[in-house]
Amino acid sequence: MTAILETFSAWRAERGAQIRSRVTLGFIPTMGSLHEGHVSLVRRSREENDRTLVSIFINPTQFDDPADLMQYPRTLENDLSRLRTEGVDFVFVPREADLYPDEYQYRVRENVLSTRLEGAHRPGHFDGVLTVVLKLLNIASADRAYFGEKDWQQLKLVEGMARAFFLPTAIVACPTVREADGLALSSRNSRLPPTDRKRASQLYRTLSAAPTSEVVSRELHASGFDVDYVEDWEGRRLAAVRLGSVRLIDNVPIEGRR
Amino acid sequence: MTAILETFSAWRAERGAQIRSRVTLGFIPTMGSLHEGHVSLVRRSREENDRTLVSIFINPTQFDDPADLMQYPRTLENDLSRLRTEGVDFVFVPREADLYPDEYQYRVRENVLSTRLEGAHRPGHFDGVLTVVLKLLNIASADRAYFGEKDWQQLKLVEGMARAFFLPTAIVACPTVREADGLALSSRNSRLPPTDRKRASQLYRTLSAAPTSEVVSRELHASGFDVDYVEDWEGRRLAAVRLGSVRLIDNVPIEGRR
C-alpha cells in the first residue's frame, strides 16, 4: 500500500515511531515526470531499507528560466501509479507554501563549486537545489537518500552540504540510466522532437570517445549542438548542450582513459 | 558525571541509542565565558529534559571584527567546572576544523532581517551565526535548544531558520538575566573598566523608561555612549551602543507601554 503523506507533522510522528523501532528509511527526492532513472533509485532504496519515501515537487527556486519551469513536464497521475507498482511505501507531494513558509528568506549558499559549470549558466540554480534538498532531507529524516549521477555537479554539492552541515542522512550516488543508444534518461527528453531525439545520442557517444573536452566541444558544435560547456573536473568530463529549446546535460568518468 | 564528547561519531551513536529509548535532550550552544545567563539556560534545560548537552565554541565566522574575536574572553577551565557543578551531562568543545571541514564553503543566508540592526553594523555576522547553529543543532540532535532573549535578533533568526528548514529541534527562548543594576549579563561585560561598568547600567534604564527610541538614542548619546542604533521592531525596542572598545546590546518589550 502506497500512502500519500497529508501533513508534515503527521509524517514526523510516524517517522519518530519508525526510528524508535529501528525501521530504516530510504528517500528519493524527485521533480516527478518519473522515468527508469528514478525507478532505479527506488529499487536501490527498497533493497537497502525497510521503507521507501518518494517526494514529488517541482522546485521553483532552482529554475533560473521561467519558461523552463512552465514547460517542465507534469505527469502526477502516471507518477503515482508507477510508484504504487514499484511498491513505494510513502509519497510526499507538497505544495510550494508547504516547503517555503519563509518565502525563500532562508537559503543555503555554496561559494566555490556552485558558481561554475551549470552554476555559471544557471545563476542561483544550486542555491535553490541545496535549499530544497535540505528542507526535504530534514522532513524525511531518512537513513539514506538517493541521487542520480546524471546530475553530477548537483550530486557533489549535495554530498558536500551533507558533510558540511552534519546531516544524519547518508547520500547514496546511483549510476546514470541510459536509453539503448546511450542518451541519459531525463524528464526533458520528452520535449525533444523526433529528429533532435535521434541526434541527442551523439552527446554521450562523443563525450565517451573523444580524447579531450576541446575535441568533444568542437565535434558537438560541428553537429549543430549549441554547446554551453564541456569541461573536465575532478576525474569527470561534464557537458551541457542545447538542441532547439531543450537543454541536455551528461557526464562520464575520465580516469583511466588517458 | 559530566562527559566531554571526544568525537562527533561517538556522540551520534550515543544519541541514537538515547532516541530509541526516548531519552530527551536539551542543548545549549555557547561561546564559553559562561555567566548566570548561560546557567539559567542550563537549569531550564535540566528541568525540561532527561539529559543536557552544552557546546563551547568561539565561532570565528560570526566575528566581523578580528580584534573582537581576539579579545573575546576564553575561560575554558572555569566553564567546565561550572558545568560540572550544574550537573550538565555532556559538553562538546569542538575545534574549528571539526565544525568547518568545508572551510565555510557552505553557508546559511537569510535575506531580510539579517541585513538590518546588528546585521547592518556587523556584515556577515548572522550568516556565521546561522551556519554554526545549523551545524551544532544537526550534531546535537536535541529535542530542545535554548537561546537567550538578550540576543533578540539572533533568537528571531534562529527561530525563523528552524521553521524554514524544518529542523526537528524546538527552539526555546529564555529571558535575559540582569545584574542588580539592570545591566544585561554578557561575556563582554568583563572587558568594561570600572567607570564604564557603572555607566553601562544606563542602557537598560533608558531603554525601559524613555517614551520613544529617538529619546533613548538622544539620552544615551548625551551620556557619552556611542550609539550604533536604537530601533523599534515588531514589539521590541533594540539597541546597540559602545563604551570605549566594548560594544553592548540589549532589548526590551514595548507592547503595552504606549
Whole-structure pTM value: 0.96
Residue contacts between A and B (CB atoms, under 8 Å): 82
First to last CA, chain A: 50
Fold of B3-174: Rossmann fold (3.40.50)
Instruction: Determine contact: B140 vs chain A, CB below 8 A.
Output: no
d(CA B207, CA B217): 9
Residue B206 contacts by C-beta under 8 Å, 6 or more apart in sequence? B216, B219, B220, B223
Where exactly are the structural domains of chain B?
A: 3-174, 187-252
Task: Name the pairing type of β-strands B236-243 and B226-233.
Answer: antiparallel
Q: Give residue B257's pLDDT band: very low, low, confident or very high (50, 70, 90).
A: low
pLDDT per residue as tens digits for the range A77-128:
999 999 999 999 999 999 999 999 999 999 999 999 999 999 999 999 999 9
Instruction: Determine contact: B164 vs chain A, CB below 8 A.
Output: yes
pLDDT per residue as tens digits for the range B184-229:
999 999 999 999 999 999 999 999 999 999 999 999 999 999 999 9
Beta-carbon separation of B12 and A106 below 8 A? no
pLDDT per residue as tens digits for the range B51-61:
999 999 999 99
Note the pLDDT of residue A140: 98
Note the pLDDT of residue B61: 97
Spell out which residues of chain A touch residue B163, defining contact as CB-CB under 8 Å.
101-102
d(CA A203, CA A250): 8
d(CA A69, CA B177): 51
Question: What is the interface pTM, i.e. ipTM, of the complex?
Answer: 0.96
Fold of B187-252: Pantoate--beta-alanine Ligase; Chain: A,domain 2 (3.30.1300)
Residue B241 contacts by C-beta under 8 Å, 6 or more apart in sequence? B203, B220, B225, B226, B227, B228, B247, B248, B249
Q: From B107, which residue of chain A is nearest by alpha-carbon distance? A: A109
Fold of A187-250: Pantoate--beta-alanine Ligase; Chain: A,domain 2 (3.30.1300)
- The DSSP secondary structure of A1-48, one letter per residue, reads -PEEP--HHHHHHHHHHHHHTT--EEEEEE-S---HHHHHHHHHHHHH
Same CATH topology for A3-174 and A187-250: the answer is no
- Whether the CB-CB separation of A202 and A220 falls below 8 Å is answered with yes
Q: 116-135 in A: which are within 8 Å (CB) of B?
A: 130, 134-135
